[in-house]
Chain A
Amino acid sequence: MSKGVKAVMAGALALSLAACGTNNNSATGGNDNKGAANGSKATNQEKITITFQNIYPDPTDPKHGAVKKIVEQYEAEHSNIKIELDSLNTDQQKLKLKTQAASKEVPDITVVNPSAQMKPFVEAGLFAPLNDMVEQNGLKATFQEGILDWYSFDNNLYALPDGNNIGVVYYNKELFEQGGVKVPATFEEMIEVVKTLKSKGITPIAIGEKDTWTGSFLFMNVLLRTNGGPGFLQDVQDGKKTFEDQAFVDAVDSFQDLVQAGAFQEGATSFDYNAGENLFKTGKSAMYYMGSWATGGIETSSVNGKVGVFKFPTVKGKGNPNEFMLAPGSGFAISANSKHLQETKDFLNYFMLNFPKVMFEAKGAIGIAQKVEGDFKAQGYSEMAMEILDLFKEVQGGDLSFDNTMNPGTSQAHLTSIQDLFGQKRDSKEIGKDHQTAYTSNKE
């Protein structure tokens, strides 16, 4: 026998031995682990995988870390359960979910927006009611008063929110000083502030209007004031008002005044959400109107420490500054067709119970939907964050964004219509009429 053949034989023998070895090891090792984790429970539990679709792909987002941490904890405590994270950008997730929904293949846990935006999914019977689950372990009591209503239909709860935010105006104190202006108490003053800042070469307000909802969010706050209180869109849906009413036309007028005063950066409609926010975060604009969820991002930016917040002022003497644009956050829903419905519910229950604590420690507890215990100041939250917390205490109700209230068809028409105002001045009555036409033609 030649040397070569011998060598090959020896090699093959070694390989087969090694293979046996690993097999044995892994088998016993696996049994040991199971025994340790489950104690006296049945050792033959099947492996369960739960898909958790979420919108926190950004590692700088405290929520990204929180999800990872809680999932790891849970997996350590339940060795038979594996949580598979499917982290996507908001827009991608929306699109993916719609495609999945069309073929009835919704992931075990997914993310939806409140009220009107989740309604089609609920009506199609895609989500499991969570009424029983939210009562377990006292989860319901951790949520803020009334917040769950935005996710309930016909007395059934279908999603648990990750946030609850309000629309505020962030301003750069340094730039305000440079421009020699003060925080405006009325909308009219705000327009003067805009003009003064503009004349000194400072961009007054940053906005990412390529993503049309940003302008709409601001516009709706104007409407909340000119209407003298919340509920305009609800009244339209109830047939009590139309978009051609004075309150709406006034809101369009005032909004156009703001645009025409040069409030927003040039080319605003080509800036997407991030690009718009970056203008403010890099100190290139004096004000930024956004939901309080932007706080975390501003804190980690270069303008941290120079930023204050104020409430959106009264318009033409109307409205109550303590009424805010409300933004109940996106909610976690469970697929009605989930193969492991009970396990998924158990996990989400655990997840939501731990969420506030983990978020608090990650300094991301501003604007979450649950009650948070702990001393924010001692934990090292910034002054701006404390200001926002104080604003939360003064909230006396308000409105939801347009696309969370109206059906998607009307919403799209509205969003484009408002975006149009950034490019050209239009007759406000005509805008009202366009809205009304869009509303009637999209009514179910």
Chain B
Amino acid sequence: MNVLRVSKWTIAAFVLPCLLLYFCLVFVPILVSFYSGLLDWNGIGESKFVGLANFQKLLFEDAVFWPSVKRTLMFAVFSMAEIPVALFVAILLSRFVKKPNFLVSSYFLPVILSVVIIGQLWKTIYNPASMGGMLNQVLETIGLGDWTRAWLTDPNVAMYALYFVALWQYLGYHTLIQFTGIQNIPSDIYEAARIDGAEGLKADWHITLPMNIPIFKISIVLSFIGSLQAFDMIMVMTGGGPAHATDVISTHMYNMSFLSMKYGYGSAIAAFLVVLCLAATLLVNLVFNRLERKFT
């Protein structure tokens, strides 16, 4: 701090406005939400303080809750598993494509499309063949008629169909992030490596991967947190149905707060989600700090 040659008070004064805003818009609502989680409240009328009863019911009696937590975590696992693929694509782009900008922008396109459009698009692709569903029609044409499914309405596959759409949408996003990371690695390192006899993918293994770890971390955190909060796409495509088969934590929370009008109970779910997000962020940071220390 001393290098800045200003007093701590000055720093505090300049940070304060933003901090206040952040505090009011983020922390206060979270605290209010925690408090609402202790109420038996329909969101409109009188509320009754019930202590931890909501949480008790949530954790031990709710038949929908734990499966939805599992689906949320699976969502996170799948989206994190996507990052190495994105990195690989980025490496290929930077190594073998002369002017990669056009390709990177094309891959990025789904990200700027509205989720509603993406949802409608994939709903149509997933439709049964009799309703003009492209996927099933293609499967039938190439003789894989046995593989056709009611992708969004068969409880056993619906969730995987949703994961896939999310992966498809965000592949370009993470490819862009990784690609930018790779571009920032100084080229003299590669040149030095070439003199030492490391070229191509070997150089990537020893240079690109370790140098790119901080960027890799950004992608992992973004995809992890993003998938914990997954909501809009699921709402558009299945609405959590059929019969809770595609409910994740956030859709369950929405159903409880606004459709079943159990605002207090919904807040309890929200509180759980906050804790889960914090724990996940801590965990990811911990793992990556170790990795960074090891490789850099």
A: residues with CB less than 8 A from B are: 94-95, 98, 101-102, 120-121, 123-124, 126, 203, 210-212, 265-270, 407-409, 411-412, 416-417, 419-420, 422-424
Contact = CB atoms under 8 A, between A and B. Distances in A.
B153 A98 contact: no
B260 A412 contact: yes
Given A124-B45, A270-B123, A270-B153, A419 B243 contact: yes
9 contacts: A98-B261, A121-B44, A267-B127, A267-B150, A269-B152, A269-B238, A270-B123, A416-B244, A419-B242
A102 B43 contact: yes
A210 B46 contact: no
Interface in B198-229: none
A417 B243 contact: yes
B261 A266 contact: no
B43 A420 contact: no
A-B pairs, 10 with minimum CB distance: A420-B243, A266-B128, A124-B45, A408-B261, A270-B152, A269-B242, A423-B242, A412-B260, A124-B44, A409-B260
Contacts of B259: 408, 412
A124 B263 CA distance: 15
Given A266-B153, A412-B255, 12 more contacts: A102-B43, A102-B263, A124-B44, A203-B130, A210-B241, A267-B133, A269-B241, A269-B242, A270-B153, A409-B262, A412-B260, A416-B243
Interface residues of B, number: 32
Nearest to A123: B45
Contacts of B87: none
A165 B123 CA distance: 32
Interface in B115-140: 123, 126-128, 130-131, 133
Nearest to B238: A270
B292 interface: no
Nearest to B57: A441
A124 B153 contact: no
A266 B241 contact: no
Nearest to B42: A120
A422 B44 contact: no
B87 to A, nearest CB: 34
A411 B255 CA distance: 11
Contacts of B239: 210-211
Contacts of B133: 267
Contacts of A269: 152-153, 238, 241-242
B35 to A, nearest CB: 14
A265 B43 contact: no
Interface of B: 42-46, 123, 126-128, 130-131, 133, 150, 152-155, 237-239, 241-245, 255, 258-263
A444 B263 CA distance: 15
A266 B243 contact: no
B153 A422 contact: yes
Nearest to B161: A270
Of A407, A423, A424, chain B has the most CB atoms within 10 Å of the CB of: A423
B44 A419 contact: no
Contact of A98 (B44, B46, B238, B262): B44
A311 B34 CA distance: 51
A423 B245 contact: yes
A267 B255 contact: no
Contacts of A268: 153
B262 A120 contact: no
Contacts of B128: 265-267
A120 B241 contact: no
Contacts of A101: 43-44
A211 B239 CA distance: 8
Contact of A423 (B42, B44, B155, B260): B155
A94 B155 CA distance: 28
Contacts of B150: 266-267
B43 A423 contact: no
B131 A266 contact: yes
Contact of B241 (A98, A124, A409, A416): A416
